[in-house]
């Protein structure tokens, strides 16, 4: 919002990913610690519906999460973001599938840790993808003496910062090439 007050589809999709990531992340941990929640009288999902049903809900929630995390590629996010979302998502799905098949503390903790891997892979891919777009724009700026962005979704979201970053990078690159 500090760069561009308009919220585009990529930002909304990433917000939706975070929203959908939260339930399977915490419910996996709740399955692992079901007895403690029950003893404390805390009505977490596995206490209310049982570990087996909670595990199936976790897996279903993860399917929805992974599907949504792949959508940014259709809005200009690029193959790096898609690869990160796919790799992290497949890992998380494998662990939640194992949890749904055999709910236990061990499979629940594996799903919990896989949720962190999934989110980290996606966010790292987003950061790398944005940096890659910056580098491509800087190279284009040197060649054409202006900013050319091949990813309109990124350009719209980051235009002011994007232009300033490229100007600074290009000056540094031109100085290195001429000095």
Over residues 47-75, the mean pLDDT reads: 96
pLDDT in tens, 11-24: 899 999 999 999 99
Q: What pTM, to 2 d.p., does this model score?
A: 0.75
In the predicted model, what is the mean pLDDT of residues 1-5? 50
**Cα(124)–Cα(120) distance, integer angstroms:** 6
Give 150's DSSP letter: S
Report the pLDDT averaged over residues 3-15: 79
Q: What is the pLDDT of residue 94?
A: 98
DSSP state of 61: H
The SS3 of residue 78 is coil
pLDDT band at 9 (very low <50, low <70, confident <90, very high): confident
Answer yes or no: is pLDDT of 179 > 50: no
Check if the beta carbon of residue 55 is closer than 8 Å to that of residue 100: yes
**1, pLDDT greater than 50:** no
Rounded Cα gap, residues 168 and 175, in angstroms = 11
User: How far apart, in whole angstroms, are the C-alpha atoms of residue 44 and residue 38?
Assistant: 8
Identify the residue with better confidence: 150 or 174: 174
Tokens of 163: 């232009």
**pLDDT for 123-150, tens place per residue?**
999 988 877 766 666 666 555 544 444 4
Cβ atoms of 59 and 99 within 8 Å: the answer is yes
Name the residue with higher pLDDT: 84 or 174. 84
Question: Mean per-residue pLDDT for 108-137?
Answer: 88
3: number of Cβ within 10 Å: 11
Q: Which residue has the higher pLDDT, 156 or 63?
A: 63
Is the pLDDT assigned to residue 162 strictly greater than 50?
A: yes
């Amino acid at each position: 919002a500090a760069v561009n007050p308009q919220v585009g589809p990529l930002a909304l999709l990433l917000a939706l990913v975070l929203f959908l990531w939260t339930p399977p992340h915490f419910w996996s941990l709740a399955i692992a610690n079901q007895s403690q929640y029950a003893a404390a009288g805390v009505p977490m999902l596995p206490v209310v519906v049982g570990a087996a049903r909670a595990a199936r809900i976790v897996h279903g929630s993860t399917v929805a999460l992974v599907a949504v995390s792949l959508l940014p590629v259709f809005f200009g996010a690029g193959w790096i973001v898609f690869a990160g979302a796919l790799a992290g998502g497949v890992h998380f799905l494998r662990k939640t599938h194992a949890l749904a098949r055999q709910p236990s503390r061990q499979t629940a903790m594996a799903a919990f840790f896989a949720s962190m891997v999934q989110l980290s892979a996606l966010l790292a891919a987003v950061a790398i993808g944005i940096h890659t777009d910056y580098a491509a724009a800087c190279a284009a700026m040197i060649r054409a003496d202006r900013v050319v962005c091949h990813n309109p979704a990124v350009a719209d979201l980051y235009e002011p910062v994007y232009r300033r970053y490229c100007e600074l990078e290009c000056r540094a690159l031109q100085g290195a090439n001429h000095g």
